């Protein structure tokens, strides 16, 4: 059920969570499908609703930074420096876990992913529930993450007892994930907290290569995918006129040479990459619901949040094996 987030509905959602049910809620990145992270049965519902392979570990959301100590071992200094700079915010750290977090949350890994979201509804919900909340993005496994409550409702509405509606997500891409489980900080997923920003605080980070064993499902080549075919291009000139009439052109900012495309989506008329990121997933969903055959996406510049946008577009463009 889609419910506007109010003090009363947040209290009702917190009660559902304490009783072992799942609730969908907004964060600044994307909507999450939450359950009590200390209750293995409640967490099992998440996997059933998402039809997600159970070997994928979940992010545990906390309501204040001090709660990290209850679920994780004391983090390395670099992790501490990073979370002091970016919490609350779109940054997830992976650190050694404590036994309070059941194995189903971490898929048996000795580490746990933790995040303090920067959204008043998420924070209020977690605090009212009085426990850490495990939450993946609230979409069926492998599909585009939801950035509006309506996206959750359209796909999971019948299976989730409550969807708290907090409007459109400000960031629109999933959080940046940095693991501190080996001596070397490793970036597992690109996001709004850019590589440049992280390196300014903790020095060089390793970026996990696609060929490494999959630790994060966001690392699987095909992910965040609409069902319409997506191709990444550098310029509209690569698309001949005859291919344009059943195709959409998706661009970060204004473009020349958009003639003949059935649809043209300019994610940010002001050419602001943060605005483009915030609108990307909603736009992919909308194009997926149309009868277009192809989405041609112009690759953003490979810097700052542009790298995270390019990463999601590349995965969306990967054809099923």
Instruction: Using CB under 6 A, list all residues that contact ligand TXA.
Output: 27, 29-30, 32, 56-59, 92, 94, 106, 109, 111-113, 115, 135-137, 174-175, 177, 179, 188-189, 215-218
Chosen from Mg ion, ligand TXA, none, partner binding at 215 (C-beta under 5 to 8 Å by type)? ligand TXA
Closest approach of Mg ion to the CB of residue 189, in Å: 10
| Nearer Cβ to ligand TXA (133/266) | 133
Q: Quote the least distance from Cβ 303 to ligand TXA, whole Å.
A: 21
Helix (H) or strand (E) holding 200: helix 195-202
Task: Report, in Å, the least distance between residue 57 CB and ligand TXA.
Answer: 3
Options 38, 92, 106, 137; binder of Mg ion; rule CB under 5 A: 137
Per rule CB under 5 A, is residue 29 in the interface with Mg ion? no
Closest-CB residue for Mg ion? 137
The smaller minimum CB distance to Mg ion, of residues 17 and 46, is found at 46
Beta strands across the sheet bearing 176-179: 2-4, 163-165, 23-25, 32-36, 133-134, 59-61, 111-115, 91-96, 176-179, 186-189, 206-207
Beta strands in the chain (DSSP E): 2-4, 23-25, 32-36, 59-61, 91-96, 111-115, 133-134, 163-165, 176-179, 186-189, 206-207, 229-233, 247-251, 263-266, 294-298
Smallest gap from Cβ 201 to Mg ion, in A, equals 26
Part of the chain binding Mg ion (CB under 5 A), chosen from 57-65, 109-117, 132-140, 233-241: 132-140
- Contact between 186 and 178 under an 8 Å Cβ cutoff? The reply is yes
| Least separation in angstroms between CB 136 and Mg ion | 5
Distance from C-alpha of 29 to C-alpha of 268, rounded to nearest angstrom: 18
Q: Any idea what the Cα angle at residue 20 is, between residues 14 and 22, rounded to 5°?
A: 70
212 is written with which tokens? 């490494």
**Closer residue to ligand TXA (CB): 29 or 39:** 29
# binding residues, Mg ion (CB under 5 A) = 1
Rank residues 138 and 228 by Cβ distance to ligand TXA and give the closer one. Answer: 138
Q: Supply the minimum distance, in Å, between the C-beta of residue 11 and Mg ion.
A: 27
Residue 206's SS3 state is strand
Report the distance separating Cα 125 and Cα 280, nearest Å.
26
Among Mg ion, ligand TXA, none, partner that 113 touches (CB below 5 to 8 angstroms by kind): ligand TXA
Is the peptide bond preceding residue 54 cis, with omega within 30 degrees of 0?
Answer: no
Q: How far is the CB of 130 from Mg ion (least distance, A)?
A: 25
Contact 139, 50 (CB under 8 A): yes
In terms of CB distance, is 146 or 236 closer to ligand TXA? 146
| Strands 206-207, 176-179: pairing kind | unpaired
Segment near Mg ion (CB under 5 A), from 61-69, 107-115, 135-143, 269-277? 135-143
Chain contacts with Mg ion (rule: CB under 5 A) = 137
């Amino acid at each position: 059920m889609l419910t506007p987030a109010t003090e009363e509905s947040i209290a009702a959602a917190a009660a559902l969570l304490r009783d072992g049910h799942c609730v969908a809620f907004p964060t600044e990145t994307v909507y999450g499908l939450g359950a009590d992270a200390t209750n293995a049965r409640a967490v099992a519902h998440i996997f059933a609703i998402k039809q997600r392979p159970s070997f994928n570990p979940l992010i545990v959301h906390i309501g204040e930074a001090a709660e990290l100590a209850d679920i994780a071992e004391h983090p390395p200094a670099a992790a501490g420096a990073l979370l002091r700079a970016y919490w609350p915010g779109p940054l997830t750290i992976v650190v050694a876990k404590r036994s309070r977090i059941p194995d189903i949350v971490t898929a048996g890994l000795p580490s746990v992913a933790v995040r303090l979201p920067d959204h008043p509804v998420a924070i209020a919900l977690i605090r009212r529930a009085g426990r850490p909340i495990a939450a993946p993005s609230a979409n069926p496994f492998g599909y585009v993450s939801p950035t509006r409550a309506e996206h959750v409702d359209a796909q999971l509405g019948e299976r989730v007892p409550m969807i708290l509606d907090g409007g459109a997500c400000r960031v629109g891409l999933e959080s940046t994930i940095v693991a501190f489980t080996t001596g070397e900080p490793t970036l597992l997923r690109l996001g709004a907290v850019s590589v440049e920003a992280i390196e300014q605080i903790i020095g060089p980070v390793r970026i996990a290569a696609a060929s490494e064993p999959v630790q994060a499902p966001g690392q699987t080549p095909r992910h965040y995918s609409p069902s319409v075919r997506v191709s990444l291009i550098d310029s509209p000139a690569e698309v001949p006129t005859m291919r344009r009439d059943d195709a959409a052109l998706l661009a970060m900012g204004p473009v020349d040479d958009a003639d003949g495309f059935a649809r043209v989506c300019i994610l940010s008329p002001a050419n602001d990459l943060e605005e483009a990121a915030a609108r990307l997933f909603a736009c992919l969903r909308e194009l997926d619901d149309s009868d277009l055959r192809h989405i041609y996406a112009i690759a953003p510049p490979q810097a700052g949040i542009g790298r995270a946008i390019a990463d999601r577009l590349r995965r969306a463009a990967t054809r099923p094996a």
